[in-house]
């Protein structure tokens, strides 16, 4: 971690910013989206990442060796606790096996909490202990949690 800059304000109680690398012990490579969990005593950042850098148009080029099967679940979410003193970040938990076409991470307010991972074919809610998913169509794949089929007349509105 590296501290730099000042936030100014002359005695407003603000601290200067600091950087927490996402490599090394944390090992969250190729971040897609970042959000902060609600209702935590210390700032906790969620990072949606795809370490293999796959996407639907390129998935056929990332074929594994012949003795293994193709994995459509390459994304992961890591919860990173940010400690203002001594300005460090530590990985609290990680959930791997999320859909490779995940595009967004939406932290949800309490009492539900956790976060919603949005992909082209599924919605996955997760927190430190639990995860649940809904398949939006027949192409949905997720290794992190079983996906239940939505009803045929499922209509979603994210407002």
Summarised one tens digit per residue, pLDDT across range 10-61 is 445 566 776 776 666 667 778 889 999 998 888 898 999 988 777 656 554 4
If DSSP codes are grouped into helix, strand and coil, which group holds residue 40? coil
pLDDT tens-digit series, residues 71-86: 577 889 999 888 777 7
Global pTM? 0.73
SS3 for 123? Answer: strand
Return the beta strands (E) in the chain as ranges: 2-3, 18-19, 31-36, 44-49, 75-83, 88-98, 102-107, 115-119, 122-126, 131-135, 147-149
Q: Helix, strand or coil for residue 106?
A: strand
Q: Are 61 and 70 in contact (CB under 8 A)?
A: no
């Amino acid at each position: 971690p590296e501290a730099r800059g000042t936030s100014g304000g002359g005695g407003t109680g603000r601290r200067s910013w600091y950087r927490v690398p996402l490599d090394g012990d944390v090992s969250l490579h190729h971040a897609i989206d970042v959000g902060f969990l609600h209702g935590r005593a210390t700032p906790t950042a969620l990072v949606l990442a795809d370490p293999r850098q796959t996407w639907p148009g390129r998935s056929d080029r990332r074929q594994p060796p012949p003795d293994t099967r193709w994995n459509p679940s390459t994304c992961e979410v890591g919860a990173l606790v940010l400690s203002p003193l001594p300005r460090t970040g530590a990985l609290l938990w990680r959930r791997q096996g999320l859909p490779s076409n995940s595009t967004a991470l939406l932290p949800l307010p309490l009492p539900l909490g956790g976060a919603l991972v949005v992909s082209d074919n599924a919605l996955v809610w997760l927190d430190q202990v639990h995860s649940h998913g809904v398949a939006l169509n027949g192409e949905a794949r997720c290794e992190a949690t079983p996906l239940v089929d939505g009803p045929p007349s499922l209509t979603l509105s994210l407002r």
